[in-house]
Amino acid sequence: MKKVLNITIVIAILALMAWGYAGAAHHSAHASQKGLDPKEIIFSHLGDAYGWEVPFSHSVRIPLPIIVIGSDGLNVFMSNRVTGGDTYNGYKIATDGDYKDKVVQVVNGQQVRPWDFSITKNAAGIMIAALVVIALAMWIRKWYKKNGMKAPRGGAGLLELVVEFVYFDTIRPIMGKDAPKYGPYLLTAFFFILTMNLLGLVVIFPGGANLTGNLAVTMVLALCTFAITNLTGTKHYWKEILWPDVPIALKCPVPMMPLIEFLGIFTKPLALMVRLFANMLGGHMVVIVLILLTFIFTNMYGVGVGAATSVVSVALALFMLVLDTLISFIQAYVFTLLSTIFISMAHVHEEEPKLEKK
Amino acid sequence: MELFKPEFGLVFWMFVAFLCLYFILAKYAWPFIIKSMEERADMIDKGVAYAQQAKSQLDNAKAEADKIIAEARADQADKLREAEAMKTQLIENARAEAIVEAKKVTDAAQVSIEQMRKESEKQLKQEVSEIALNIAEKVIRTKMASDAAQQELVAKLLQEVETNN
């Protein structure tokens, strides 16, 4: 029975690959006329969009609301009114210029960017991720209410394992008595990032948005850590920055050490932001490039080479996706761990020398 | 390059979503989940400690019970021995007492027998003397019909009395 199932799965995968390859050959036949532009393809896949692609179609998209505040006030309409290249109420998606692929208002023949609060693909993805996290948290809460002191099994056990790992084995040993105060923020950040990372790996509708590989998303996360670190920092933390314990010569005539420490305030969240962004973006980019190799080789050497490449590409892409799953967890954990360390470093007290030892 | 320019709208929605998520989870989920996990961990720790304690107590109880049984056995043997000794002692005592008592009873009996014997002797003597007197009286009455004989006898008796004294 199991053997039959395995064989069916393999045949299904091969059939899908054949179908995909037929599509690919068709696509590249098109592309060879216009010239295949890998860079365009990669960035259009990694970037944001109005509307959400559906599988096997390049033109059909799930419409999403566009919310813009232009010179004529607030405008709300569905994205399918403009994604086809149409103009609606003076708004259209720019095809070139500074605001390429963004909604612009045409005023006197000039393209003006309005305040754009659209629920784009990424914004919708963020909301879906948030809802998934809330659903998970509420589910485990309900589970605890119902089962109380029973040993967790199945999904509850998995979630508990992660909470145990992040909170009890990481946040609490580092933060000590501050853990209950900042734990909820750090846990929220961890689960939100993890969910966004994993959703980004799913290629069809609820997933597929490159969320954590987008600088806006990681910037908000890093800004939150930055705000918490500096707004709740103790007197001693600021003293360490403005008047650190170094020889006078290093800080008196030229405030070299204070300057370095002061820059450190900003480099820490910057590192958080860029690390998560670059790791996730890199993972997605490699997968897309590996798949694109099929098209590129077909374009260069013909269909036979392309077909051979497709097998290698899919295998490598699959490997990369598995690796990305691991990276999703690691990056979410690293973000949380570093946030924990930054926040706990802002809570040093002079009478607690053992904290600095850690 | 679009990817490296944070889009304002996305920042806004991300911020809103993250904030909402934080407030919902910080209020309803994390404290409750953490508390539940801690409580259960505590309970498991306590349960293990309790089980260990109970086990050690059980082990001790067995040893203690063995000790008590051994003690009881020793006690029992002691008690038996003591009882045996007491029994012999008692029997011995009783025997001695019985002997003493018996002796007393025999002595008393002897004394009373002696007394009775003496009494009966006395009585017998009296009776005998009475009978003798009666006989003598009768004899005398018949024999002493005459005054001469009476005087002779009186004299004779007086002589006898004199010689006896």
Write down the ipTM of this complex: 0.84
Kindly state whether residue A53 falls inside one of the protein's structural domains: no
End-to-end CA distance of chain A: 56
Same domain, residue pair A135 and A218: yes
Query: Sheet holding A110-112: strands in order across?
Result: A91-93, A103-107, A110-112
Tens of pLDDT along A66-102? Answer: 888 888 888 888 888 887 778 887 888 887 777 777 8
* Cα–Cα distance, B143 to B135 (Å, whole number): 12
Cβ(A71)–Cβ(A107) under 8 Å? Answer: yes
β-partners of residue A105 are A91, A112
* Cα–Cα distance, A249 to A122 (Å, whole number): 51
Residue A254 has pLDDT above 90, yes or no: no
Same domain, residue pair A99 and A135: no
Tens of pLDDT along A25-56? Answer: 665 555 555 567 888 888 888 888 888 888 77
Kindly state whether residue B4 falls inside one of the protein's structural domains: no
Same domain, residue pair A10 and A99: no
Same domain, residue pair A98 and A211: no
Considering only alpha carbons, which residue of chain A is nearest residue B16? A127
Q: How far is B66 from chain A (nearest CA, A)?
A: 39
Same domain, residue pair A11 and A109: no
Tens of pLDDT along A148-157? Answer: 777 777 778 8
Same domain, residue pair A218 and A204: yes
Kindly state whether residue B1 falls inside one of the protein's structural domains: no
Tens of pLDDT along A92-129? Answer: 888 777 777 788 888 877 888 888 888 888 899 999 99
Kindly state whether residue A204 falls inside one of the protein's structural domains: yes
Q: How far is B2 from chain A (nearest CA, A)?
A: 7
* Cα–Cα distance, A237 to A52 (Å, whole number): 46
SS3 call for A298 = helix
**Domain span holding position A214:** 122-357
Q: How far is B46 from chain A (nearest CA, A)?
A: 13
Q: How far is B61 from chain A (nearest CA, A)?
A: 31
Considering only alpha carbons, which residue of chain B is nearest residue A131? B21
Position A273: which residue type?
M
Considering only alpha carbons, which residue of chain B is nearest residue A281? B3
Residue B65 has pLDDT above 50, yes or no: yes
pTM for the structure as a whole: 0.74
Joined tokens for residue A303: 């269909």
* Cα–Cα distance, A168 to A170 (Å, whole number): 6
Q: What is the pLDDT of residue A358?
A: 40
Query: Sheet holding A115-116: strands in order across?
Result: A73-78, A65-70, A115-116
Kindly state whether residue B36 falls inside one of the protein's structural domains: yes
Same domain, residue pair A308 and A273: yes
Largest CA distance in chain A: 81
Give the position of tokens 């709208």: B9
* Cα–Cα distance, A287 to A42 (Å, whole number): 10
- Tell me whether A178 touches chain B (CB under 8 Å): no
Same domain, residue pair A211 and A267: yes
Kindly state whether residue A42 falls inside one of the protein's structural domains: no
Same domain, residue pair A108 and A142: no
Name the percent of chain B in helix, strand, coil, to the closest 5. 95, 0, 5
Same domain, residue pair A114 and A150: no
Per the CB < 8 Å rule, is B29 touching A138? yes
Number of domains chain B contains: 1
Per the CB < 8 Å rule, is B10 touching A217? yes
Cβ(A136)–Cβ(A159) under 8 Å? Answer: yes
Same domain, residue pair A73 and A167: no
Among A44, A68, A126, A170, the strongest candidate for a mutation testing the B interface, having the largest count of B CBs within 10 A, is A126
Kindly state whether residue A78 falls inside one of the protein's structural domains: yes
Contact list in B for residue A101 (CB cut-off 8 A) is 2
Cβ(A122)–Cβ(A214) under 8 Å? Answer: yes
Position B89: which residue type?
Q
Same domain, residue pair A196 and A270: yes
Number of domains chain A contains: 3
Cβ(A49)–Cβ(A120) under 8 Å? Answer: yes
- Tell me whether B23 touches chain A (CB under 8 Å): no
Give the strand pairing for A103-107 and A73-78: unpaired
Give the strand pairing for A65-70 and A52-53: unpaired
**Domain span holding position B70:** 11-159
Considering only alpha carbons, which residue of chain A is nearest residue B14? A217
- Among candidate residues A163, A164, A218, A181, the one with its CA nearest the CA of residue A340: A181
SS3 call for A232 = coil
Kindly state whether residue B6 falls inside one of the protein's structural domains: no
